[in-house]
A and B are shown apart, each in its own frame.
Chain A
């Protein structure tokens, strides 16, 4: 390689409906590394971008929630496979974004890959852990099953640009929801690049939509949107979180409040899945054959 070769910059774009559009507003903002060095111009998403993303997520919901849990697990595992193959790219992006050494950034990326594997395994097990038959006092079959709540707006954590992002997105889609994700405001590049992996992992377009820009600006229309079913406030500060929760009350969105997270690499429980699940209980009469029949 010649020293004089000029590298090719990547134009970072949004990921919406399986495509990579620019912001409809035509706006970008400057993204820098931890030392203030220019990295890229990221799209500065508008309210309209947020609404377009909701439309894409809603459109994808029927197919994704209707896919078998096994199929969703296969696709989540495929995401892990694709990420592993592009590990170096994400290590570099995370190192730049969070001011980490290559080895520390590597640990973040490894944990993010393993997180996809963790949730790949949950797709066909969550119903067995949180659902089940109920022994009602009467001649009825009675079964409770979890179902995805719908379109979930996810405000990704501000500090952990990639592991934190994956840790909040994967549990939302594992159970069959679709997501509109607002990337870390300061460090959106790893999130925008994740779209490249999602787009090549058999994940149907629109299941995950990634927006970058000012969290408060994008989150407000999402929290108030009548076709959004739930919102994860992980990336909102205390003041914004309260504002958004109030807006979300208008159509009684399920709200996951910001939780203090010291270490995103710790093994997650099931909370981030159950926060976005509905429980459906089906009754059916069992009829009666009387007391006869073999006892053995």
Chain B
């Protein structure tokens, strides 16, 4: 389909972000070098340009950070909730003030489109701090009895798909409830967490309440295994989540895990097709499909399969892939070479196993990590692309005839994070939702997030909830 009009470039300026050539670890309110002085580079996935160097924290650094958090815990947890609230409100406000800068930074380091960081990530980050700020002096009303107590030092390890948002999901409830934290951002997206350290400074947050340590999986493992950590919170792959569950076995550490998914997006024959197509596109191509709750399995009622697929393909042909800083870009870069290799391998396997592969005509930039939006049809439940979490812009299309069959197929996965239901019939939405074994069900919408709304999975998608009143429990001794 030939475009009627061309888009002029609409690049967001990157001059708003002032990047230092290197960053240390943020421990006890100061930036310091790692013991041993090792560093690693963080690159822009859309260009492979080196953005900065960050310190690689060793076990010794982890210990230093945990000690700082422990030292800060006594005073922080003894502060009246109303005072902790005001610190968090300050942080929320500063995030709002600096949201343009942070959106550009996040797009640079992560590769996702600026329209997502600007319109989704950053507003949600600020809202999350706002929401939990309000809880800090209202814990008596949260349903956990009078004067619920914090746990102590929280060790938090977050992924690269929503770097600052996942930081907010971890730090806001932890601080509101009176814990102190040591947070490790993902190896490929450390920068926004380090900028957050500066926001803590501007907010006047007491030293040691928030500590940010950078590094790879070994740093994260050391943090989680540290004997003086009282609470472990992890968002990432199910494989690592299971390893963490083993590590904390036999300890008193409280754990919450937010892991992988293979969400089913179920479209019934009475669904409004155009609306459903938008939801399907959002479900799997938002953030290049690098979303744990992505709707990566499309379950279509057989009678509308052809009509829906035609619409979907037509819509995919209009998606714009390219420079993430361009305000018209829909699909940005894959976060890393490693992730790109994984997506490529799984898509190739899908083809090898006999599923039918389709992508719109789509020119990929010459440098950086890119993967065209991809559909698989003629997929069965036995296919790898219907079973494994791909964590990329790859949608597997399956069909069903009856609601029962849709539910059985949707639940036929070890995961249980999200699902979507598209139908005009309210009672069918509720009946199907009742039967789905998943923590978040979107009806006639998809990928909606709000700080007031609990998020988390059934089965091997992890346990515990983040967000809402429920999200407090993870950080309280209850």
The chain A residues found within 8 Å of chain B, CB to CB, are 69-70, 73-74, 77, 114, 117-118, 120-125, 128-129, 139, 141, 267, 269-270, 284-290, 292-294, 296
Contact present for A294 and B437 (CB under 8 Å) = yes
B344 within 8 A of A: no
Contact present for B427 and A118 (CB under 8 Å) = no
How long is the Cα–Cα vector from A141 to B469 in the complex, in angstroms? 21
Interchain nearest-CB distance for B271 vs A (Å): 16
Contact present for B134 and A289 (CB under 8 Å) = no
How long is the Cα–Cα vector from A284 to B425 in the complex, in angstroms? 11
Do A285 and B469 form a contact, CB below 8 Å, given A293-B411, A296-B459?
Answer: no
Contact present for B134 and A124 (CB under 8 Å) = yes
Which partner residue on chain A sits nearest B414 by CB separation? A296
The chain B residues found within 8 Å of chain A, CB to CB, are 82, 85-86, 89, 127, 130-131, 133-138, 141-143, 403-404, 407-408, 411-412, 425-428, 430-432, 434-435, 437, 451-452, 459, 468-469
How long is the Cα–Cα vector from A120 to B437 in the complex, in angstroms? 36
Q: What residues of A have a CB within 8 angstroms of the CB of B137 in the complex?
A: 118, 121, 267
List 3 tightest A-B contacts by C-beta distance, closest first: A121-B134, A287-B427, A287-B431
Contact present for A293 and B89 (CB under 8 Å) = no
**Out of B142, B427, B468, which one reaches A285, CB within 8 Å?**
B427
**Out of A124, A139, A269, A293, which one reaches B407, CB within 8 Å?**
A293
Q: What residues of A have a CB within 8 angstroms of the CB of B468 in the complex?
A: 128
How long is the Cα–Cα vector from A125 to B127 in the complex, in angstroms? 13
Q: What residues of A have a CB within 8 angstroms of the CB of B134 in the complex?
A: 73, 120-125
Interchain nearest-CB distance for A238 vs B (Å): 31
Which partner residue on chain B sits nearest A111 by CB separation? B82
Interchain nearest-CB distance for B422 vs A (Å): 16
How long is the Cα–Cα vector from A98 to B408 in the complex, in angstroms? 70
**Out of A118, A124, A139, A270, which one reaches B82, CB within 8 Å?**
A118
How long is the Cα–Cα vector from A296 to B459 in the complex, in angstroms? 8
Q: What residues of A have a CB within 8 angstroms of the CB of B425 in the complex?
A: 287
Some 25 contacts from A to B, beta carbons below 8 A apart, are A70-B127, A74-B130, A114-B82, A118-B82, A120-B134, A121-B85, A121-B135, A121-B136, A121-B138, A122-B138, A128-B469, A139-B431, A267-B137, A284-B426, A287-B425, A287-B427, A289-B403, A289-B407, A289-B435, A292-B404, A293-B407, A293-B408, A293-B435, A294-B437, A296-B459
Interchain nearest-CB distance for B445 vs A (Å): 16
Q: What residues of A have a CB within 8 angstroms of the CB of B408 in the complex?
A: 292-294
Do A287 and B411 form a contact, CB below 8 Å, given A117-B89, A124-B134, A125-B134?
Answer: no
How long is the Cα–Cα vector from A290 to B137 in the complex, in angstroms? 45
Interchain nearest-CB distance for B131 vs A (Å): 6
Interchain nearest-CB distance for B346 vs A (Å): 24
Q: In the complex, given contacts A139-B431, A267-B137, A289-B431, what are 15 additional A-B residue pairs having Cβ atoms less than 8 angstroms apart? A: A70-B130, A77-B89, A114-B86, A117-B86, A124-B134, A129-B469, A267-B82, A286-B430, A287-B427, A287-B431, A288-B431, A289-B435, A293-B404, A294-B408, A296-B411
How long is the Cα–Cα vector from A168 to B225 in the complex, in angstroms? 50
Q: What residues of A have a CB within 8 angstroms of the CB of B403 in the complex?
A: 289
Contact present for B130 and A73 (CB under 8 Å) = yes
Q: What residues of A have a CB within 8 angstroms of the CB of B437 in the complex?
A: 294, 296
Q: What residues of B have a CB within 8 angstroms of the CB of A289 in the complex?
A: 403-404, 407, 431-432, 434-435
Interchain nearest-CB distance for B84 vs A (Å): 11
Contact present for B85 and A286 (CB under 8 Å) = no
Contact present for A125 and B469 (CB under 8 Å) = yes
Contact present for A294 and B431 (CB under 8 Å) = no
Interchain nearest-CB distance for A40 vs B (Å): 33
Which partner residue on chain A sits nearest B469 by CB separation? A128
How long is the Cα–Cα vector from A122 to B288 in the complex, in angstroms? 36
Interchain nearest-CB distance for B478 vs A (Å): 16
How long is the Cα–Cα vector from A136 to B441 in the complex, in angstroms? 21
Q: What residues of A have a CB within 8 angstroms of the CB of B142 in the complex?
A: 129
**Out of A69, A121, A123, which one reaches B133, CB within 8 Å?**
A121
Interchain nearest-CB distance for B172 vs A (Å): 12
**Out of B86, B136, B141, B427, which one reaches A286, CB within 8 Å?**
B427
Q: What residues of B have a CB within 8 angstroms of the CB of A141 in the complex?
A: 430
How long is the Cα–Cα vector from A122 to B86 in the complex, in angstroms? 14
How long is the Cα–Cα vector from A209 to B262 in the complex, in angstroms? 53
Q: What residues of A have a CB within 8 angstroms of the CB of B469 in the complex?
A: 125, 128-129
Which partner residue on chain A sits nearest B132 by CB separation? A121
How long is the Cα–Cα vector from A290 to B408 in the complex, in angstroms? 12
Interchain nearest-CB distance for A263 vs B (Å): 16
Which partner residue on chain B sits nearest A288 by CB separation? B431
Which partner residue on chain B sits nearest A70 by CB separation? B127
Q: What residues of B have a CB within 8 angstroms of the CB of A285 in the complex?
A: 426-427, 430
Residue with the highest number of chain B CB atoms closer than 10 Å, among A125, A284, A285? A125
Which partner residue on chain B sits nearest A80 by CB separation? B89
**Out of A117, A128, A139, A294, which one reaches B452, CB within 8 Å?**
A128
Residue with the highest number of chain A CB atoms closer than 10 Å, among B82, B86, B437, B459? B82
Q: What residues of B have a CB within 8 angstroms of the CB of A118 in the complex?
A: 82, 137-138
Interchain nearest-CB distance for B441 vs A (Å): 12
Which partner residue on chain A sits nearest B86 by CB separation? A117
How long is the Cα–Cα vector from A85 to B426 in the complex, in angstroms? 50
Q: What residues of A have a CB within 8 angstroms of the CB of B434 in the complex?
A: 286, 289
How long is the Cα–Cα vector from A117 to B403 in the complex, in angstroms? 48
How long is the Cα–Cα vector from A294 to B127 in the complex, in angstroms? 37
How long is the Cα–Cα vector from A105 to B355 in the complex, in angstroms? 75
How long is the Cα–Cα vector from A121 to B85 in the complex, in angstroms? 9
Q: What residues of A have a CB within 8 angstroms of the CB of B89 in the complex?
A: 77, 117, 120
Which partner residue on chain A sits nearest B80 by CB separation? A267
Q: What residues of B have a CB within 8 angstroms of the CB of A292 in the complex?
A: 404, 407-408
Interchain nearest-CB distance for A93 vs B (Å): 24
Contact present for B411 and A294 (CB under 8 Å) = yes
Q: What residues of B have a CB within 8 angstroms of the CB of A267 in the complex?
A: 82, 137
Q: What residues of B have a CB within 8 angstroms of the CB of A139 in the complex?
A: 431
Q: What residues of B have a CB within 8 angstroms of the CB of A73 in the complex?
A: 130, 134
How long is the Cα–Cα vector from A114 to B80 in the complex, in angstroms? 12
How long is the Cα–Cα vector from A122 to B85 in the complex, in angstroms? 12
Do A117 and B130 form a contact, CB below 8 Å, given A289-B435, A294-B411?
Answer: no
Interchain nearest-CB distance for A294 vs B (Å): 4
Do A117 and B431 form a contact, CB below 8 Å, given A70-B130, A292-B404, A293-B404?
Answer: no
Which partner residue on chain A sits nearest B434 by CB separation? A286
Which partner residue on chain A sits nearest B426 by CB separation? A284
How long is the Cα–Cα vector from A139 to B426 in the complex, in angstroms? 13
Interchain nearest-CB distance for A80 vs B (Å): 8
Which partner residue on chain B sits nearest A119 by CB separation? B134
Residue with the highest number of chain A CB atoms closer than 10 Å, among B85, B431, B468? B431
**Out of A77, A270, A290, which one reaches B141, CB within 8 Å?**
A270
